[in-house]
Structure 1
Amino acid sequence: MQIMDHHQQLTLSVAVRDDARFANYYAGPNEQIVQSLQQQWTVHGEPYLYLWGAPGVGCSHLLQASCHYAEGLGHQSVYLPLDELVEYSPAVLDAMEQLPLVALDNIQAVAGRPDWEEGLFHLFNRIRDRQGHLLIAASQAPGHIGVQLPDLSSRLSWGMVYQVEPLEDNDKVLALLLRAKRRGLNMSDEVARFILTRGPRDMQGLFDLLETLDQASLSAQRKLTIPFIKAEMGW
């Protein structure tokens, strides 16, 4: 989606990853969060949710998956990674309330910035007045991200607040197997455990490594085996 910052006359291109979908997400201990995100569009759904967790636990994936899910139901949405937009004017938030779903990622990136905090406060009110839906993700709980504007700080805790829990190792293996299956990659449980043992500990790092290995196996026309991975990665 393209967003025009009227103050700076710049067009910002904000993309949602095509593979960031609920079907491509292994929930593990976060199943309730996925259900709440999907239930946003039901009669008893919560229109505002705040997700927080350490880098790599999947907050960004869940926000983007929610956008895909909303679009699939016929609702327009916008995904705004605030860590990428912080150097622009908060005027990028103007009129966003006209969309049924607004997803604000990495809100901690603009905490302590008076212009952005005021812009978010007014956006929050406009979304509420239009009975829209709002998703927010951050690295920490609402009271710990450094927001200085009291009115905004209180609004961040209005809806449901969920901590996205990191996966245990067994769940990470299952998440890798699911992602491999979605990529059409035949990978054994043994190979997945080997990757987990030698690769990054965070899920995004593991998924990036899986993509690299998938491309390498395609180029070499080789199956993804432990000897192949050792040779490719120098392990």
Structure 2
Amino acid sequence: MKQMNQLTLGVGLKDDATFANYFAGKNSLLLEELNKSACGRGERVIYFYGTGGQGSTHLLQACCHKANEQQLRSVYIPLASIMDLSPDIFEGLETLQLVCIDDVHMIAGKPLWEEAFFHVYNRLHAHGGHLIATANVAPKLLGFTLPDVISRLSWGIVFQLQPLTDDEKLQVLMMRAERRGMTLSEEVGKFILTHCPRHMSTLFAALDALDKMSLAAQRKLTIPFVKTVLEI
């Protein structure tokens, strides 16, 4: 069932989307609770929210990887990518131990989707499964037309993702570069942070481009090289 759902959605889990590859910063308590839930323990419902680029998708996929390691059946559902499908995708999910739903705000104001989500929540709860959901705002601000959905999402624990500081983002970039066999000095890292948008996804994309070009050109990561590659 786990593989069938994931394949049917056409969404694969990224291999590097693990808890070990996530810099927690001030979100260590959230990671602790997610880890327990992914192992079939702890809170049955976890809801966390934050702005784009803070790693919500990474964390949900990390939960599924962890569940797979524990031989638990799980599925990751990215609502923002599958709104052209039918709400029927929620059918049968109560047979899984873990259901991770990304971007719940996408179905706000869509009655058929809200109702389908409400029913799968109830069925999953009745079967003893775990639900982890993300959105861009707190539950009470989602704008759902079904008030019962909001109350259900608030039954468990709710976290707001705390953004990384610039110093923490620099640490993340340097750690990621090191794992790739790159040498990223603090000076060059600070230059990238100063001249690039500071969403982690954007910073990672910049690092990916630098990795590719430095290998091709056999160049070290210097400020002049970074300027050329990133056109800044």
| TM category, shorter | over 0.9
- 2:60 corresponds to 1:99: no
- 2:175 corresponds to 1:173: no
- 2:44 corresponds to 1:47: yes
- Please list, as runs of the form range in 1=range in 2, the aligned pairs for 1:131-146 lying within 5 A after superposition: 131-146=128-143
Q: Residue deviations 1:86-142, cap 9 Å, x none?
A: 221100111112121110000101111000000000110111011111100000000
- 2:223 corresponds to 1:226: yes
Q: Residue deviations 1:183-210, cap 9 Å, x none?
A: 3322222221111111111111111111
Question: Any stretches of 5+ residues in structure 1 without a counterpart?
Answer: 5-10
Given that residues 24 and 182 in structure 1 are in contact (C-alpha distance below 8 angstroms), is that contact kept between their aligned partners in structure 2?
no
- Please name the residue that 2:121 is paired with: 124
Given that residues 40 and 97 in structure 2 are in contact (C-alpha distance below 8 angstroms), is that contact kept between their aligned partners in structure 1?
no
- Please name the residue that 1:8 is paired with: none
Given that residues 2 and 14 in structure 1 are in contact (C-alpha distance below 8 angstroms), is that contact kept between their aligned partners in structure 2?
no
Cα distance change of structure 1 residues 100 and 116 upon mapping to structure 2, 3 Å threshold: same
Cα distance change of structure 1 residues 169 and 45 upon mapping to structure 2, 3 Å threshold: same
TM-score with structure 1 setting the length: 0.92
In structure 2, how many angstroms separate the alpha carbons of the residues matched to 1:86 and 1:231?
39
Between the aligned residues of both structures, percent identity stands at 46
Structure 1 stretches of at least 4 aligned residues deviating more than 2 Å after TM superposition: 1-4, 41-44, 181-186
- Please name the residue that 2:214 is paired with: 217
Q: Residue deviations 1:128-180, cap 9 Å, x none?
A: 01111110000000010111112111101010000001111111111112222
Given that residues 57 and 166 in structure 1 are in contact (C-alpha distance below 8 angstroms), is that contact kept between their aligned partners in structure 2?
yes
In structure 2, how many angstroms separate the alpha carbons of the residues matched to 1:43 and 1:79?
16
Aligned Cα root-mean-square deviation (Å): 1.8
In structure 2, how many angstroms separate the alpha carbons of the residues matched to 1:43 and 1:169?
35
Cα distance change of structure 1 residues 68 and 3 upon mapping to structure 2, 3 Å threshold: closer
In structure 1, how many angstroms separate the alpha carbons of the residues matched to 2:200 and 2:85?
30
- Please list, as runs of the form range in 1=range in 2, the aligned pairs for 1:144-155 lying within 5 A after superposition: 144-155=141-152
Shift of 1:76: 2.1
Question: Any stretches of 5+ residues in structure 2 without a counterpart?
Answer: none
Secondary structure, aligned partner of 2:145: coil
Given that residues 77 and 102 in structure 2 are in contact (C-alpha distance below 8 angstroms), is that contact kept between their aligned partners in structure 1?
yes
More helix by share: 2
TM-score with structure 2 setting the length: 0.93
Aligned match for 1:184, one of 174, 181, 193: 181
In structure 2, how many angstroms separate the alpha carbons of the residues matched to 1:125 and 1:158?
12
In structure 1, how many angstroms separate the alpha carbons of the residues matched to 2:19 and 2:40?
21
The residue type paired with residue 193 of structure 2 is L
